[in-house]
Amino acid sequence: MILPIYTFGADVLRQATPELEDNSEALQTLIDDMFETMHNASGVGLAAPQVGRSERVFVVDLKKSLDDEEGVEPATLPGPLVFINPTIQALNGDEVEYEEGCLSIPEVRENVVRPDTVEIEYLDRTLSPARLQATGLLARVIQHELDHLNGILFIDRLSTLKRQLLRRRLREMSRGDVTAAYPILTAPEAARRR
């Protein structure tokens, strides 16, 4: 099922998520729904808080989301990945600046500096322990989505000046003045749901 994506200003986006301890049918359904929601919105990653849930899980799929990009060889991209209770073990490589966006902050894109390599431990979809060393775009997406699980948004990683330049737009968005090409739930709508 396609879920609405919560937009900037929704409280759930600023809350750290607790670790998951049990596999359940509800968790598996959430994971399926997150993939469907992410693909529908043409995203490459999606964290549970973005769909209003406080579970410590995010999904990534560079293969399906980027296989139409010019010059990208689909066979080289990682397919659907599920990260449950992820923890970064190491950040390495050069600090690289790259333009990021976020499904919860539609139409805002800014350059963010992040390490080019990440080592992460997590539980996979079956709650089996896993470890991954990722570089390039996959490393960036992992770091971005893990930030969501800690209540951090990519705009928090911008300079003070850039955040000030975005302040008016973000204030409008938090009041509900936002649209997207996919189903969303604005901050005022999310507050009424509580």
Among this protein's residues, is 145 annotated catalytic?
A: yes
Q: Indicate the Cα dihedral angle 49, 54, 56, 59, nearest 10°.
A: -30
Radius of gyration, alpha carbons of the chain:
16
Could you give the CA distance from residue 9 to residue 98 in angstroms, rounded to a whole number? Answer: 24
- Report the DSSP beta bridge partners of residue 98: 112
Instruction: Tell me how far apart the alpha carbons of residues 45 and 17 are, in angstroms, rounded to a whole number.
Output: 17
Query: CA 40 from chain center: how many Å?
Result: 14
Helix or strand (DSSP H, E) at 94: strand 81-102
Calculate the CA dihedral of residues 186, 187, 190, 194 and round it to 10 degrees.
Answer: -170
Q: Say which amino acid occupies 75.
A: A
Catalytic residue among 25, 145, 172, 189: 145
CA separation for the pair 173, 167 (Å, rounded): 10
Number of neighbours of residue 26 by Cβ within 10 angstroms: 11
Catalytic residues: 145
